[in-house]
Structure 1
Amino acid sequence: MGHHHLVLDPKHLPRVVAHAIVSGLVRDSFVAGNLLESHLRLRPSALSEALALLRLSPDPSPFMYNTLLSSLLSHRLPSAAAALLRRMLRRLRGGGAAAAAEPNRYTFPLALKAFAQLRSLRDGELLHALILKLGLGSDPFVHASLVHLYATCGRSAGARKVFDAVPDAKVSAWTALLSGYAKSGELGVARELFDEMPERNLVSWSALIAGYVQSGRPGEALVLFREMLVSRIRPIASVLVSVLVAVAELGALLEGRWVHAYLEREAVEWTPNVRTSLVSMYFKCGDVRSAWQLFDRMMERGVDLWNTMITGVGLNGKGTEALALFDEMVFEGIKPDDMTFIGVLGACSHAGLVDEGMKRFESMSKVHDVSPKVEHYSCMVDLLGKAGLLKEALELIESMPMKANSRVWGSLFGACRAHGNTELGEAVGKVLIELEPKHAGHYVLLANLYASSGRWKEAVEVRERMERRGVELEPGCSSIEVEGVVNEFLVGDQSLPMSGDIYDTLDCTSKVGLNGYVEDIRHNC
């Protein structure tokens, strides 16, 4: 940035700074700038001393401001960075010698990044006007930062307008716009933009893959990942985390094992997210043994990894083992959090450990200083409901310190159906429809409850009410992995090559099912 920093020994730095202050050299912006930069380079956390040096300088340079802005952002202090920029602009408006501190092409990307992190679009728009006034709108760094600001604040149209204002936009601006579309769920537009890009970088591929995963389209994420590998783009940890999430959603165990082997072979950094996602993938694909083996090999075990293990073991019906994991975690000095207890209570629910579940629930606030949230109450209602303790489950809902949501009531409704309590189930079903009148599943479940008890008139009335309100039931979707290929199926889908054979087989199995199988839909923790 046009400055040469001094080479100082950290031991001598305080003495040099003191000498500069006493002698008045600190009033020279060049000296002050070098001292400030050296201070932050040798002692990155010494932000208060750096700010003091800025205040002592009567004419701070843009270099000083930029150095401090960069440091504040690296310490995740966007509010402090925004405040520093406002101070810089106030001094600029004051005129005089302070005009030397005019923001430059290095200042604006830092400032726009701060406003993007704060989702402060209004401040960003004011800064945009100043950028245009100074003629810096086409600077590659500034341009990409502007696109990023509007995209991050959910203004896709504004981001596109800024992007189109520069004919020869650099790849960073293309990627910023692509990321914005992907994060907002506009994946069709994002894919079109991706295909139009004159060049793609790792961030471009990563943004679109993550967008597909976040929008519930894991199959397309894996297809794009394969394209990425064919293009000889080497994935980093964050990309592989997205891929592992997609694999877990599809239950594509062979793909997951390939990713695991790639991690081992290519020496990709095993970040905490990578470790957690890999263990979670094995659990969700049903390979509990591999999950355990991987966990046992890991030396670094943060709370997220422990939570994944507790949840995964519990969901596989091993409640006692999940509780033993929890006790081991606490013994090792890891403080449990909200997610830990969702896993613990869910494990108790799946294994029918009512007394243990009650004990762990009560220990949350008393022993571990974790206040129960609505999700924890939902787990407890599920636990009590599965054990047939419907009255106790209802009393717990009524005693909740917050309003029960549809997940809580849904857990009780599932228990009412399972235990044949039509009277309570009817009341709960009506509450669910009142809470979420556009949720088709609630109508279907209540209609099925009426039908199972022979109340056909009420079942028809619920279906008719659903139609009058324009509530439509979305077709179900499932997937299966066969010889490394993931096949996805929609209800009523006739597009697959073997659709005829598939439906013939389903017809046969449905006839067998008439002997006693009844489909059941339940709300689980």
Structure 2
Amino acid sequence: MRRFLHPKHLHQFHARAVVSGLIHDPFVAGNLLESLLGLDPSALAPALALFSHAGARSPFMWNTLVHAHLANGLPTYALSLFAQMLRDPTSPPNRYSFPVALKALAQLQSFKEGVSLHSRILKLGFDSDPFVHATLVHLYGTCGHVREAHMVFDSISDPSVSAWTALLSGYAKLGQLEAAREVFDRMPERNLVSWNAMISVYVQGGRPRLALELFREMLVLKIRPNSSVMVSVLVAIAESGALREGRWIHAYLERSEVEWSPNLRTSLVNMYSKCGDVTSARQTFDRIRDRGVDLWNAMIAGLGLNGKGKEALELFDTMLSEGLKPDDMTFIGVLCGCSHAGLVNEGMACFEAMSQVHNVTPKVEHYSCMVDLLGRAGLLQEALELIRNMPVEANGRVWGSLFGACRIHGDVELGETVGKLLIESEPGTPGHYVLLASLYASQGRWKDAIDVRDTMKRRGVELEPGCSLTEVDGVVHEFLAGDRTHPRTTEIYDKLDEIAKLLRSRGYVPSTRHVSFDISEEEKEGVVFRHSEKLAIALCLISTGPEEVIRIVKNLRICGDCHSMAKVVSEAYSREIVIRDRSRFHHFRQGSCSCLDYW
């Protein structure tokens, strides 16, 4: 029965089993159930019908059905079936039953229910099973109870690789990256899952450089990565903006035996887009024949983030013409593209078509794009009215879009109101305090700016330091504001002095109006001229050829002075500069920016 490759043959045998009465044989019914779900893992309704028609039900049948529901993203239904199994006196659970139930509880973050099931496991004597042990560690770690996870782990005489990996993931969930790495280093043996877990930990923890270092170590040890590992690596490259390394990975994938999964293809396109090389992203996209919605979404979003809103709209139209149904992520990409390119009418038409034509209900993310779109056009009252009429509650991102528009267009009164609202609704977000303080500073309201910073300190809100990454000769360099730890610090600051003199000779005046400290103008200029992205630009000017694009990734929003300086440098030195900040891409060419000076 397990050899059936076509549903027709399976259904024929199923009919014969019903007629002959073999369907009441647990072995026959169990194999029919497994074969059915093997041919179509989503065939839950037929599987339930087959299950109900069978006579005696074996633990294998219960386990197969519970696992199928879990695999289809239905952990609650899986647990309901598991509970029915526990009540079935003719089919007691076995060593394979509990791991599936524990995984379902982990997905639901059901710690108390997990403790209860753990007690039942102890009573039934399954606590020594390695599969059960590993899944218990996974459950407690996923629920954020790493102490309990460690207690279970320590009770294992010879922990499996799965148990080690589950413990590692538990520490990672709590943000304890060093503890997770310590577990990884202690593992007596590692498999692809454990390597991928540690690489993913670094990626999700904002340490892409460490993720890439670990991947290189993996290659040195002659461990062949699979598709999942390569997806994590591409995400790390995208976050660090290491385009040269990304191109090497692309070439490696072309000559390796790694399976080209849909997720891997999408990650490759996304990597190029997030590194600011939208041309390579589009070339990669065009070479792929079997393109799912996720891939289209990645390409549309990449075009939009890089300021190519018209191209994003054209690709969206092509997607529709090929018969694909857009989802909510598609429209986030399209609306983001319209916003970044200033396509107000097109964005409004697309927003209306979401629900009226495509039956996609707008979410808060879509409203955020629309507020940004209207704000860019100076339609602040219209943006405010849209927020007031939203069917869902506006979050910090929505109000933040309006606040940014107020700052750009000089509406201090509305900006102050929105800024205070943001601070009270999200008191732990440092960016809200910084932007409100800079708004006050731009108006010379130093006391108000100081009060905002004092409130921030009193509440214990720590400011995230500005950090910029740039890749030179395949090595990623990291800078903080005022950084003097780089081996070429003297050359970098000499270059900055040279740039300052050249820019002043061209009429450039440093923009200090958003510096929220009441200090002398000369001191303000010194503050803004040591920002991390300026240091990165200086390094690239002294380290790369005149034809090479300068690419920088910054963790925060680029300030007005750095934006102005990058425009002038792109013209004065005839260099293309691409800076990705927290919200968008800035492509500087010949003294202008793709964002049209709105960000």
The TM-score normalised by the length of structure 2 is 0.78
Aligned to 2:51: 51
- 2:76 partner amino acid: S
- The residue correspondences of 1:178-193 to structure 2 (distance < 5 A) are 178-193=168-183
User: Which deviations, in whole Å up to 9, do the C-alpha atoms of 1:416-452 show, x marking residues without a partner?
Assistant: 2222222222222222222222322222222222222
How does 1:284-433 map onto structure 2 within 5 Å?
A: 284-433=274-423
Specify the code of the residue in structure 1 equivalent to 2:82. L
User: Paired residue for 1:479?
Assistant: 469
C-alpha change, 1:451 and 1:287, in structure 2 (3 Å) is same
Q: 1:121 to 1:50 in 2, by over 3 A?
A: farther
How far apart are residue 505 of structure 1 and its match? 4.0
Match of 2:21 in 1: 20
With 344-353 and 109-118 compared, the bigger mean Cα shift is at 109-118
Looking at structure 2, the residues matched to 246 and 61 of structure 1 have their Cα atoms a distance apart, in angstroms, of: 46
Distance in 2, matches of 1:399 and 1:41, equals 52
Deviation at 1:113, TM superposition (A): 2.8
Does structure 1 retain, via aligned residues, the 8 Å contact 2:30–2:58? no
Candidates 32, 36, 57, aligned match of 2:26: 32
Question: Partner residue of 1:66?
Answer: 63
Provide the C-alpha distance between the structure 1 equivalents of 2:472 and 2:408, rounded to a whole number of angstroms: 33
Q: How does 1:485-500 map to 2 (within 5 A)?
A: 485-500=475-490
Give 1:35's aligned amino acid: A
Instruction: String of CA shifts for 1:444-472, please: whole Å, max 9, x gaps.
Output: 22222222223333333333333333333
2:32 corresponds to which letter in structure 1? S
Q: Higher mean Cα deviation, 198-207 or 486-495?
A: 486-495
Higher helix share: 1
Contact 1:36 1:53 in 2 (8 A): no
Residue number in structure 2 paired with 1:270:
260
Q: Which residue of 219, 234, 237 maps to 2:224?
A: 234
Corresponding residue to 1:516 among 509, 520, 541: 509
Q: Which residue of 1 is the match for residue 235 of structure 2?
A: 245
Q: Contact 2:109–2:142 (CA<8 Å) still a contact in 1?
A: yes
Q: Give 2:18's aligned amino acid.
A: V
Whether the aligned pair in 2 keeps the contact of 1:143 and 1:173 (CA below 8 Å) is yes
**Runs of 5+ in structure 2 lacking a partner?**
512-558, 564-580, 585-599
The separation in 2 between residues aligned to 1:284 and 1:492, in whole angstroms, is: 26
Structure 1 residues 331, 20: closer, same or farther in 2, change over 3 A? same
Asked if 2 retains the 8 angstrom alpha-carbon contact of 1:179 and 1:204, the reply is no
The answer to whether the aligner puts 1:137 opposite 2:127 as a matched pair is: yes
Deviation of 1:307 after TM superposition, in Å, equals: 1.4
- CA distance in 2: counterparts of 1:236 and 1:431, whole angstroms: 47
Amino acid at match of 2:94: N
Once the two structures are superposed, residues 273-295 of structure 1 have per-residue CA deviations (whole angstroms, 9 ceiling, x without a partner) of 11111111111112122111111
Q: Which stretch of structure 1 is more off in the superposition, 270-279 or 427-436?
A: 427-436
**Equivalent pairs: percent with the same residue?**
61
Q: Contact (CA 8 Å) 2:165, 2:194: kept in 1 or not?
A: yes
Aligned-partner SS, 2:510: coil
User: 1:143 aligns to what SS in structure 2?
Assistant: helix
Whether the aligned pair in 2 keeps the contact of 1:317 and 1:347 (CA below 8 Å) is yes
Q: 1:144: how far off?
A: 1.5
Match of 2:440 among 450, 453, 475: 450
Relative to structure 2, which stretch is displaced further, 483-492 or 116-125? 116-125
Q: Report the Cα offset of residue 18 of structure 1.
A: 2.5
Task: Give the root-mean-square deviation of aligned CA atoms.
Answer: 2.6
- Pairs aligned (count): 504
SS in 2 for 1:104: coil
1:463 and 1:270 mapped to 2: Cα distance? 50
1:82 aligned onto 2:79: yes
Gap change, CA 1:373 and 1:81, over 3 Å in 2: closer
Q: Displacement, 1:524? A: 5.1
**Alignment CA distance shift 1:511-1:157 (3 Å):** farther
Whether the 8 Å CA contact 2:99–2:131 is kept in 1: the answer is: yes
Label 1:132 to 1:472 Cα distance change in 2 as closer, same or farther (>3 A). Answer: closer
Asked whether the 8 Å contact 2:30–2:60 carries over to 1, the reply is: no
Whole-angstrom distance in 2 between the partners of 1:482 and 1:208: 26
Counterparts of 1:124-163 in structure 2, within 5 Å, are: 124-163=114-153
Q: Distance in 2 between matches of 1:7 and 1:366?
A: 47
Matched residues in 1 for 2:67 and 2:388: separation? Answer: 51
The equivalent of 1:201 in structure 2 is 191
1:163 deviates by: 0.6
Mapped to 1, the partners of 2:471 and 2:465 lie a distance apart of 20
Q: Give the 3 Å change call, closer, same or farther, for CA 507–408 of structure 1 in structure 2.
A: farther
Counterparts of 2:459 and 2:282 in 1: how far apart (Å)?
Answer: 48
**Partner of residue 535, structure 2:** none
Q: Which runs of 5 or more structure 1 residues have no equivalent in the other structure?
A: 93-97
Equivalent residue letter for 2:378:
G
Contact persistence 1:411–1:524 (CA under 8 A): no
Note the C-alpha offset of 1:129. Answer: 1.9
Match of 2:456 in 1: 466
- Letter of the aligned partner of 1:221 in structure 2? A
Match of 1:95 in 2: none
Alpha-carbon distance in structure 1 between the residues aligned to 2:278 and 2:3:
55
Partners of 1:447 and 1:408 lie apart in 2 by 19
Deviates more, 1:475-484 or 1:102-111: 102-111
Cα distance in 2, alignment partners of residues 433 and 264 from structure 1: 49
Deviation digits for residues 396-426 of structure 1, max 9, x if unmatched? 2222223322222222222222222222222
Whether the aligned pair in 2 keeps the contact of 1:113 and 1:149 (CA below 8 Å) is: yes
Map of 2:543 onto structure 1 = none
Which residue of 400, 424, 430 corresponds with 1:434? 424
Return closer, same or farther for 1:132/1:469 CA change in 2, 3 Å cut-off: closer
Contact conserved, 2:33 with 2:51, CA < 8 A, in 1? no
TM-score, normalised by the number of residues in structure 1: 0.89
| SS of the residue 2:391 aligns to | coil
Native 8 Å contact 1:410 1:523 kept in 2: no
C-alpha contact 1:422 1:449 (8 A) present in aligned 2: yes
**Against the structure 1 CA distance between its residues 90 and 291, is the aligned structure 2 distance closer, same or farther, given a 3 Å change threshold?**
same
Q: Tell me which moved more, 81-90 or 472-481.
A: 81-90
Read off the aligned partner of 1:15 and give its amino acid letter. R
The answer to whether the Cα contact below 8 Å between 1:250 and 1:479 also exists between their aligned partners in 2 is yes
Q: Please name the residue that 2:96 is paired with.
A: 106
The alpha-carbon distance between structure 1 residues 139 and 330, as it changes in their structure 2 partners (threshold 3 A), is same
Moved more, 360-369 or 425-434: 425-434
Q: Distance in 1 between matches of 2:425 and 2:83?
A: 45
Equivalent position SS for 2:223: coil
Deviations 1:305-336 (A, max 9, x none): 11111111122222211111111111111111
How far off is 1:212 after superposition? Answer: 0.8
Structure 1, 123-132 or 283-292: larger mean CA deviation:
123-132
User: After alignment, is 197-206 or 171-180 more displaced?
Assistant: 171-180
* Helix, strand or coil at the partner of 1:12: helix
